[in-house]
C-alpha cells in the first residue's frame, strides 16, 4: 500500500514571511520542510524556491538557505563551535574577520559567548541549540527552515531562543518556515499559519484568522480558549479522524 | 577562475584541518591507529619471514634475500596503514545511515570533497608522523631502501589515496540502500589486505594471477611503492601503476556517481 507523506498542494510564500507549520506527528510538516529545503526529492510535482528547484541543490541556492533540525546536530560534535564556524566561513566563502564578528555578536545576543570554545559534546542541549542557530545564520540566509528549534529545551532556553529569533527577524527580515510542537513558538513568531493533516494543508491563513474561525465553531456560552488550546483541540480532532 | 580556485582550496584546507583537530581530540585512538597497529603487524610479519627463512633450505626466495623481505614487511605495513580507509569510510556510511549527512547535503560543499579533504588531511598527518619509524629502522638495520625513490613513491601514494577514497565513497553509498554497510567495509578491506600486497609481496603469487594482481590499481596501496623503494621493481612499474590507478579512478568514479545519484534520490532525510 502506498501512503503519501504529502499530497498535492499549492503554496506560495512571500519573502519576509514567517510561516508556522503545525500538525500532529506524521502529518507531513517535516516532509514539506525537507522538500522545500531540497533535502529530499518528491515522487512527483514541482517546487521553486528563490527561483531554484530545491532538490537540485545548486550551490547558489544552498548559499541562500539554512535548515536547522532541532533533533539533529549539524555542527561537529568533537570540536568547539568556533572551529565549526571557521569551517562554515570557508564553506560559504565568507570574509573571515566579518564572519568572526558576526558569530560573536550572535553569541552575545543568545548569551552563550563563553561556550564558543567548548567542544559541542560537552555543552547542554540548550547551549548546543544556540550554537546550531548561530551556525545556521552565519551566512545571512534569505530563507531559514526551522524544524522544532526549541524541542526538549527548558522554559528559559525556549524563551531566549524565541526572543532572539523575534529580534533577528525584525532586523534582517528573512523568510522563515518553522515547525514546532510548542504553540508558543508559533503564536509568538509566525505571521502565517499552515495547518497540515494527513499530508494535506487544511488551513492557510493568519493566526488570528484561524483563532476566529475556530471560535465561530464553538457553542454560545462556551468558555474562550487561547491559541494553544485551540490548536490542541484541532490536533486532537485530527488524531481521532486518523 | 582564480577566485574559485582560492575558495576551493580554502574550503578543502579547512576540512583537512578539521579532520586533524577532530583526531587530536582522540589522541589514544590516533596513537593506536597510526603507531601501535602497524608496529604489531610489522613485528608479526618480520617474525614470520624469519620463521620461513629458518625452516627453509634456501638463501633467496623468488630472487630476493631475507633483507629484502624484512624491508618489504617493514615498509608495507606502514604504507598500507596510510592507504587503508576504515575510519572515514565508516564515518561516511554512518552519516548516510543516521542522517548526519543532512548537514552536508544542504551546504554548498559536496559530500565527496568534504570527506576527501578530511581523509587526505588525516593521512598526510599520519604519513608525516609515522613513516619516520620505517625510515629509522631501515637506516639502523641497513635494510635495502633507495631513498632517492621516495618522492615518486609519495606522489603515487597521494594519487592512490584519491582512488581509495572513491572506493570508500562507493561503498558508503550503499548506506542509502542498506541499513548497515559495515560488513562491506570489513570485506573490502580484507580483500585489499591481500590485493594491495600488504600481507606479502604480490610477485610471490603464481602466474598468471601475479600479472593480474600487479596490474590492478590496488597494488599501488602497498606493493608497487614498497617494491620500488626496496628495489624489487623499477620505475616502469610505477608508471604502469599510475595508469592503472587512473583507470580505476574513472571506473570507480562512474560507479560511485551512479550509486550516489540513485541513493540521494531515494533518501528520506533520516533523523529530521
Q: Given the C-alpha cell 601475479, which residue does it identify?
A: B210
The rounded radius of gyration (Å) of the Cα atoms in chain B is 20
Q: What is the mean pLDDT of residues B14-35?
A: 83
B105, A57: Cβ pair inside 8 Å? Answer: yes
> Which pLDDT score, from 0 to 100, does residue A77 have?
84
The whole-number pLDDT of residue A222 equals 64
If you average pLDDT over residues B230-249, what whole number do you get?
A: 96
Q: Which residues of B touch A65 (CB under 8 A)?
A: 106
Element housing A52 (H / E): none
Chain A residues whose beta carbon lies within 8 Å of the beta carbon of residue B268? 40
Measured from the Cβ of residue A179, the count of other Cβ atoms closer than 10 Å reads 26
pLDDT at B2: 62
Are B229 and B149 contacting, i.e. CB atoms less than 8 angstroms apart? yes
pLDDT at B28: 84
pLDDT in tens, B47-87: 999 999 888 788 888 889 999 999 999 999 999 989 999 88
Please give the pLDDT value at position B214: 95
What's the average model confidence in pLDDT over B115-121?
93
Share of chain B above pLDDT 70, in %: 98
- For the stretch B156-194, pLDDT in tens is 999 999 999 999 999 999 999 988 888 999 999 999 999
Q: Does A50 touch chain B (CB under 8 A)?
A: no
DSSP secondary structure letter of residue A80: B
pLDDT of residue B197: 94
Q: Are strands A65-69 and A175-179 parallel, antiparallel or unpaired?
A: unpaired
Query: A59: which chain B residues are within 8 Å (Cβ-Cβ)?
Result: 108
Is the Cβ pair B103, A59 closer than 8 Å? Answer: no
d(CA B117, CA B265): 25
Closest-CA distance, A220 to chain B, in angstroms, reads 42
Q: Residue B107 and residue A37: Cβ atoms within 8 Å? A: no
Confidence of residue B3 (pLDDT cuts 50, 70, 90): low
Asked whether the beta carbons of B142 and B40 are under 8 A apart, the reply is no
Q: How far is Cα of residue B176 from the mean position of the Cα atoms in its chain?
A: 24
Which candidate from B10, B14, B267 shows the least CB-CB separation from A40?
Answer: B267
The stretch B22-45 carries a mean pLDDT of 85
Q: Which parts of chain A have pLDDT scores under 50?
A: none
Nearest beta carbon to residue B21 from set A38, A40, A79: A79
N- to C-terminal Cα distance for chain A? 16
d(CA A7, CA A43): 10
* Helix residue ranges, H only, B196-222: 209-215
C-alpha cell of residue B268 = 528520506
How remote is the C-alpha of B260 from its chain's centroid?
22
Q: Which three cell numbers stand for residue A79?
A: 570540536
Query: Does the beta carbon of B107 lie under 8 angstroms from any beta carbon of chain A?
Result: yes
**Count of A-B CB contacts under 8 Å:** 83
> Where is B199: in which H helix or E strand?
none
Query: Which parts of chain B fold into alpha helices (H)?
Result: 2-25, 27-31, 37-55, 66-83, 87-98, 102-105, 111-130, 132-140, 150-172, 182-195, 209-215, 223-229, 235-266
Do B13 and A90 lie within an 8 Å CB cutoff? yes
Contact A28, A223 (CB under 8 A): no
Task: State residue A4's pLDDT score.
Answer: 75
SS3 call for A40: coil
**What distances in angstroms separate CA A95 from CA A82, A86, A101, A139, one per listed residue?**
15, 10, 10, 10
Where do the DSSP E strands lie in A25-124? 65-69
**pLDDT for the residue numbered B132:** 86
- Select from A94, A178, A118 the least CA-distant residue to A130: A118
CB contact under 8 A, A71 and B271: yes
Tell me the shortest Cα–Cα distance from A178 to chain B, in angstroms.
13
Q: Return mean pLDDT, chain B.
A: 90
CB atoms within 10 A of CB A4: 13
Residue B138: the pLDDT is 87
Q: Which of B25, B26, B106 sits opposite A62 (nearest CB)?
A: B106
- The answer to whether B119 touches B20, Cβ cutoff 8 Å, is no
B2 touches chain A (CB under 8 A): no
DSSP single-letter state for residue B271: T
Min Cα separation B93/chain A (Å): 16
Mode of pairing for the β-strands spanning A192-197 and A65-69: unpaired
- pLDDT, residue A176, reads 94
| Segment A161-198, tens digit of pLDDT | 889 998 998 899 999 999 988 888 888 888 899 988 88
Q: Looking at the partner chain, which of A67, A71, A78 has a beta carbon nearest the beta carbon of B22?
A: A78
pLDDT at res. B218:
97
Interatomic CA distance for residues B168 and B187, integer angstroms: 12
Hey, what CATH topology would domain A1-64+141-242 get? Answer: Rossmann fold (3.40.50)
Decide if pLDDT at B1 tops 60. no
pLDDT at residue A221, rounded to an integer: 61
- Sequence spans of domains, chain A: 1-64+141-242, 74-140
Q: Label the pairing between strands A200-205 and A175-179.
A: unpaired
What residue in A sits closest to B14 (Cα-Cα)?
A: A87
Distances (CA, A) of B94 to A74, B28, B175, B185: 14, 22, 8, 12
The average pLDDT across B245-265 equals 96
List C-alpha distances in Å: A21 to A194, A196, B271.
Answer: 5, 7, 18
Please enumerate in sequence order all residues whose Cβ is within 8 A of that of A120, keeping only pairs 6 or more positions apart, or say none: A73, A75, A76, A77, A78, A79, A80, A81, A84, A128, A131
Query: What's the pLDDT at B92?
Result: 95
Quote the pLDDT of residue B44: 92
What pTM, to 2 d.p., does this model score?
A: 0.88
**Alpha helices, H only, chain A:** 29-37, 59-62, 81-91, 96-109, 125-137, 155-172, 183-189, 207-217, 227-241
Please answer yes or no on whether A37 and B99 come within 8 Å at the CB atom. Answer: no
The shortest CB-CB distance from A40 to any of B14, B109, B268 is to B268
Count of C-beta atoms within a 10 Å radius of residue A100 = 15
pLDDT the model gives residue A177: 93
For residue range B131-146, list pLDDT tens digits in order.
888 888 888 988 888 9
For residue B50 the three cell numbers come to 624469519
Chain centroid, CA B219 distance in Å: 10
Position B178 scores a pLDDT of: 87
Contact A74 B102 (CB under 8 A): yes
Q: Do the Cβ atoms of B272 and A119 come within 8 Å?
A: no
Q: Determine the Cα–Cα distance for residues A142 and A151; give it in Å rounded to an integer.
A: 23
CB atoms B102 and A67 under 8 Å: yes
Nearest to A4 by CA among A41, A43, A40, A37: A43
Question: In this complex, do B106 and A30 lie within 8 Å of one another by their Cβ atoms?
Answer: no
Q: ∠ at Cα B235 (B231, B237), nearest 5°?
A: 95
B106 to A76: CB separation less than 8 angstroms, yes or no: no
Please report where in the chains the cell 548537514 appears, as a residue: B103
A163 interfacial to chain B (CB closer than 8 Å): no
Q: So what's the pLDDT on residue B114?
A: 93
> Helices B235-266 and B111-130 sit at what angle, rounded to 10 degrees?
140
Structure confidence at residue B5 as a pLDDT band (50, 70, 90): confident
Nearest C-alpha of chain B: how many angstroms from A222? 39
pLDDT at A211: 80
Q: CB–CB of A40 and B269 under 8 A? A: yes
Mutate to test the interface with B, among A4, A35, A39 (most CBs of B within 10 A): A39
Distance in angstroms (rounded) separating the CA atoms of residues B135 and B152? 16
Instruction: Suggest the residue from B261, B269, B271 to mutate for an interface test with chain A (most A CBs closer than 10 A).
Output: B269
Helices first, then strands: H and E counts in chain A: 9, 6
Amino acid at each position: 500500500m502506498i501512503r503519501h507523506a504529502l499530497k498535492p498542494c499549492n503554496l506560495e510564500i512571500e519573502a519576509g514571511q514567517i510561516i508556522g507549520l503545525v500538525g500532529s506527528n506524521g502529518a507531513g510538516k517535516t516532509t514539506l520542510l525537507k522538500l522545500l529545503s531540497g533535502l529530499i526529492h518528491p515522487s512527483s510535482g514541482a517546487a521553486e524556491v528563490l527561483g531554484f528547484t530545491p532538490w537540485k541543490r545548486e550551490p547558489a541556492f544552498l548559499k541562500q538557505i539554512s535548515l536547522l533540525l532541532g533533533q539533529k546536530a549539524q555542527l561537529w560534535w568533537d570540536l568547539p563551535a568556533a572551529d565549526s564556524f571557521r569551517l562554515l566561513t570557508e564553506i560559504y566563502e565568507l570574509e573571515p574577520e566579518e564572519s568572526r564578528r558576526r558569530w560573536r555578536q550572535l553569541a552575545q545576543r543568545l548569551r552563550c559567548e563563553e561556550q564558543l570554545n567548548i567542544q559541542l559534546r560537552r555543552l547542554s542541549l540548550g547551549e548546543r541549540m544556540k550554537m546550531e542557530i548561530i551556525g545556521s545564520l552565519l551566512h545571512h540566509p534569505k530563507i531559514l527552515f526551522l524544524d522544532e528549534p526549541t524541542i526538549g529545551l527548558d522554559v528559559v532556553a525556549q524563551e531566549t531562543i524565541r526572543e532572539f529569533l523575534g529580534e533577528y527577524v525584525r532586523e534582517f527580515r528573512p523568510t522563515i518556515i518553522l515547525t514546532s510542537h510548542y504553540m508558543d513558538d508559533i503564536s509568538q513568531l509566525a505571521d502565517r499559519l499552515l495547518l497540515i493533516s494527513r499530508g494535506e494543508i487544511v488551513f492557510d491563513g493568519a493566526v488570528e484568522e484561524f483563532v476566529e474561525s475556530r471560535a465561530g465553531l464553538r457553542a454560545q456560552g462556551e468558555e474562550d480558549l487561547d491559541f494553544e488550546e485551540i490548536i490542541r483541540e484541532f490536533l486532537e480532532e485530527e488524531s481521532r479522524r486518523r | 577562475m582564480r577566485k574559485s580556485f582560492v575558495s576551493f582550496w580554502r574550503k578543502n584546507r579547512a576540512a583537512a584541518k578539521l579532520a586533524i583537530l577532530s583526531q587530536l581530540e582522540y589522541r589514544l585512538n590516533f596513537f593506536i591507529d597510526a603507531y601501535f597497529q602497524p608496529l604489531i603487524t610489522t613485528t608479526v610479519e618480520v617474525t614470520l619471514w624469519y620463521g620461513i627463512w629458518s625452516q627453509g633450505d634456501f638463501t633467496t626466495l623468488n630472487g630476493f634475500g631475507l633483507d629484502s623481505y624484512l624491508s618489504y614487511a617493514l615498509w608495507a605495513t606502514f604504507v598500507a596503514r596510510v592507504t587503508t580507509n576504515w575510519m572515514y569510510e565508516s564515518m561516511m556510511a554512518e552519516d548516510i545511515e543516521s542522517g548526519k549527512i543532512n548537514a552536508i547535503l544542504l551546504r554548498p560543499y559536496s559530500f565527496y570533497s568534504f570527506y576527501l579533504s578530511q581523509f587526505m588531511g588525516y593521512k598526510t598527518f599520519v604519513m608525516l608522523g609515522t613513516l619516520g619509524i620505517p625510515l629509522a629502522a631501515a637506516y639502523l638495520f641497513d635494510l635495502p631502501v633507495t631513498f632517492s625513490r621516495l618522492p615518486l613513491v609519495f606522489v603515487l601514494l597521494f594519487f592512490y589515496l584519491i582512488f581509495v577514497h572513491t572506493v570508500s565513497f562507493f561503498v558508503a553509498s550503499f548506506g542509502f540502500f542498506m541499513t548497515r554497510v559495515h560488513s562491506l567495509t570489513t570485506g573490502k578491506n580484507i580483500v585489499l589486505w591481500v590485493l594491495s600486497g600488504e600481507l606479502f609481496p604480490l610477485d610471490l603469487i603464481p602466474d598468471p594471477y601475479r600479472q593480474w594482481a600487479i596490474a590492478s590499481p590496488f597494488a599501488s596501496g602497498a606493493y608497487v611503492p614498497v617494491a620500488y623503494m626496496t628495489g624489487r621493481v623499477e620505475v616502469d612499474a610505477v608508471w604502469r601503476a599510475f595508469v592503472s590507478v587512473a583507470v580505476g579512478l574513472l571506473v570507480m568514479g562512474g560507479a560511485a556517481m551512479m550509486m550516489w545519484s540513485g541513493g540521494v534520490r531515494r533518501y528520506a532525510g533520516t533523523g529530521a
